[in-house]
Chains A and B, each alone.
Chain A
Amino acid sequence: MSVVTVQLFASYADMVGKPTIEVPLNPGDMVSDLLRNLRSLPVASTLPATARVAVNHSFAADTTVLHSGDEVALIPPVAGG
């Protein structure tokens, strides 16, 4: 098992109380696994199960497999403009 550092922004960073969080990751884990692992952490349990995830600066599907060294971020509903 390894660990991936997930970046948090805006309301999600407020919910967790910090801008990054480390999440356990098993070989072959997908984005859906990461979200489940993340939300199982007590500090992150209020994050929505439907949160959008970005991997290496692109929105990622639930089935995207994560690799060591990926830049992973949780993206709250965007509000630019």
Chain B
Amino acid sequence: MRSALVERPIDPASLVAEVSATDRGAVSLFLGTVRDSNDGREVEGIDYTAYMAMAEVELARIVAEARDQFGVSALVVEHRVGTLTLGDVSVGIAAAHAHRAPALDSVRYVIEEIKKRVPIWKLEHYRDKTRSWVDPTAHHIEASR
């Protein structure tokens, strides 16, 4: 079990390799990537920022919950911080188990909990050169910089 916030690119193959073993017949991988539009606006990139100390703690809690809840054999999560461009992987989650259900369910649990609880924020850069903070509970808040 491992979780981390990283400034380097996320390598999906290494996440899969990290959880794989011959007694695990199911490996599930989720990747979140930077999309070219949001809420009708053309996106060029995203700055991801975090309250690092708390985000690391909260990510580790979520991984522990997934382990306890689904009995998954191995689970690894990496979330990127910094400036990302279109198509870059922002989050990677890999889980493995002898059978498919725990592998699939644990990955879904982790991404849904990240979106509720981990203190990470997105500053979207738009094609029209404006920027705004993404607020999933409302709409965009124009950035002051």
Q: Which residues of A contact B (CB under 8 A)?
A: 7, 9-11, 14, 17, 54, 57-59, 71, 73, 75-81
Contact = CB atoms under 8 A, between A and B. Distances in A.
9 contacts: A10-B49, A10-B123, A10-B133, A57-B57, A58-B54, A73-B54, A75-B119, A77-B137, A78-B118
Interface in B89-145: 90-91, 111, 114-123, 133-138, 141, 143-145
A54 B55 CA distance: 11
Contacts of B119: 9, 54, 73, 75, 78, 80
Contacts of A9: 49, 51, 119, 121
Contacts of A14: 133, 141, 143-145
A44 to B, nearest CB: 15
B141 A81 contact: no
Contact of A10 (B58, B90, B121, B138): B121
B82 interface: no
A51 to B, nearest CB: 11
Contacts of B143: 11, 14
B53 interface: yes
Contacts of B48: 80
Given A10-B133, A81-B114, A75 B51 contact: yes
Interface in B1-47: 32
A7 B57 CA distance: 17
A5 B85 CA distance: 34
Contacts of B53: 57, 71
B121 A81 contact: no
